[in-house]
């Protein structure tokens, strides 16, 4: 089980990153929103998507990709 947080500072317009509580990149307390305690990042992602339009799992701590969303690498190549 891990605690999950959203970085409330988007890295792209309306694109937010999801982290576990012990990730090196977990944002500072004033820049994060607590999502919950989950056994798998997909559950945290599912909940976060109810509050944020686009959510990406951190590649370091979550390493999970929702198949319905393009990866960050794909997004970069589109732009
Ligand atoms: Zn992370």
Secondary structure of 17-54 as H, E, C letters: EEEECCCCCCCCHHHEEEEEEECCHHHHHHHHCCCCCE
What are the boundaries of each domain within the chain?
Answer: 2-64
Q: How far is the CA of 43 from the centre of ligand 1 (A)?
A: 15
Q: What is the pTM of this model?
A: 0.79
**Which tens digit of pLDDT belongs to each residue from 23-68?**
999 999 999 999 999 999 999 999 999 999 999 999 899 877 666 6
pLDDT at 77 over 80: no
What is the structure's pLDDT at 62?
87
What is the structure's pLDDT at 68?
60
Q: How far is the CA of 17 from the centre of ligand 1 (A)?
A: 8
| Residue 79: pLDDT band with limits 50, 70, 90 | very low
Q: How far is the CA of 34 from the centre of ligand 1 (A)?
A: 13
Q: How far is the CA of 79 from the centre of ligand 1 (A)?
A: 24
């Amino acid at each position: 089980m891990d605690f999950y947080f959203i970085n409330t500072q988007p890295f792209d317009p309306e694109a937010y990153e999801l982290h576990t509580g012990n990730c090196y990149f977990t944002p500072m307390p004033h820049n994060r929103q607590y999502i919950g305690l989950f056994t798998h990042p997909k559950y945290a992602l599912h909940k976060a998507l109810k509050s944020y339009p686009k959510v990406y799992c951190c590649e370091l701590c979550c390493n999970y990709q929702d198949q319905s969303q393009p990866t960050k690498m794909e997004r970069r190549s589109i732009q």
